[in-house]
Amino acid sequence: MGRQLLDWMNGKENLYFDFPAFSAFLESRFGDDIEAIMNGMERAIRGRTAERGLIANCYKPAFIQAMREWFAEIHQSNPAAAYLEFAERIVQPGDTVITFNNDVSLDAKLCEVGKWKIGDGYGFDVEGLPSHSPVKVLKVHGSINWLALLFGGSRPAFTDDTLTALGYEGLVDPLFPRPMAPDRNTIM
């Protein structure tokens, strides 16, 4: 997976991150294995190396954003037929699915067939979003659509595009920060 993600980063532009340059650095420093990259970044941050600040504030956030975008692209281009069949035929209301995957393919298919809701379907309450999920999805490694909240938030925040990927078109997470619209009376 690491090799494919690094290759994907080499061919992608991003408004905030220089994916090709970051990919080259990560591969030269940690190799092309996803676990080696993630563990290497964590060791560098915790070990207070000279690269600590750059890795913690630039390379790690860029790598995580690249994973989000890469998984979103995969999700959009692949119908996930096996997940749909699993959601329709195997999973029943009252079930709890434990997964090591951090993409949203299964979540989206369960939502599509009416067996999962984001408001409590991950095992924690998300106020303001649809709840009473018939099925729980517990993600051992977290999820690509969970944005960590700063300052000790009680749950992840969900961006509009990840809510859309899960089938919630036009739904907004009350915790996700948005730029304020300028006041018409404000003089610029």
State how many domains the chain has: 2
Q: Which of 62, 77, 92 is the last residue of a domain?
A: 77
Contact 9, 19 (CB under 8 A): yes
In which residue are the tokens 């996930």 written?
Answer: 80
Q: Which domain holds residue 37?
A: 2-77
Residue 31: inside a domain: yes
Let me know whether 71 and 132 are in one domain.
Answer: no
Q: Which of 58, 77, 96 is the last residue of a domain?
A: 77
Number of Cβ within a 10 Å radius of residue 182? 8
Let me know whether 51 and 108 are in one domain.
Answer: no
Q: Considering the entire predicted model, what is its pTM?
A: 0.64
Let me know whether 72 and 89 are in one domain.
Answer: no
Residue 95: inside a domain: yes
Kind of pairing between the strands at 96-99 and 136-139: parallel
Report, as an integer, the average pLDDT of 6-35: 93
Please, is 9 exposed, middle or buried when counting C-beta atoms within 10 Å of its C-beta (0-12, 13-18, 19+)? buried
Least Cα distance to 153 among 121, 132, 117, 126 occurs for 126
Let me know whether 92 and 154 are in one domain.
Answer: yes
Please report how many Cα atoms fall inside a 13 Å half-sphere around the Cα of residue 172, on the Cβ side.
Answer: 5
Let me know whether 97 and 156 are in one domain.
Answer: yes
* pLDDT given for residue 167 in this prediction: 87
Does 180 have pLDDT greater than 60?
Answer: no
Residue 128: inside a domain: yes
Task: For 149-161, write each residue's pLDDT tens digit.
Answer: 655 667 888 888 8
Let me know whether 61 and 87 are in one domain.
Answer: no
Please, is 13 exposed, middle or buried when counting C-beta atoms within 10 Å of its C-beta (0-12, 13-18, 19+)? exposed
Q: Provide the CA 25 distance to its chain's centre, in angstroms.
A: 22
Residue 184: inside a domain: no
Q: Which two tokens stand for residue 92?
A: 């029943």
Let me know whether 90 and 57 are in one domain.
Answer: no
Q: Which two tokens stand for residue 110?
A: 């369960």
Task: For 125-144, write each residue's pLDDT tens digit.
Answer: 988 899 999 999 999 888 87
78-104 burial, b for 16+ CB within 10 Å, e for fewer?
Answer: eebeebbebbeeebeeeeebeeebbbb
Residue 13: inside a domain: yes
Q: Which of 45, 77, 109 is the last residue of a domain?
A: 77
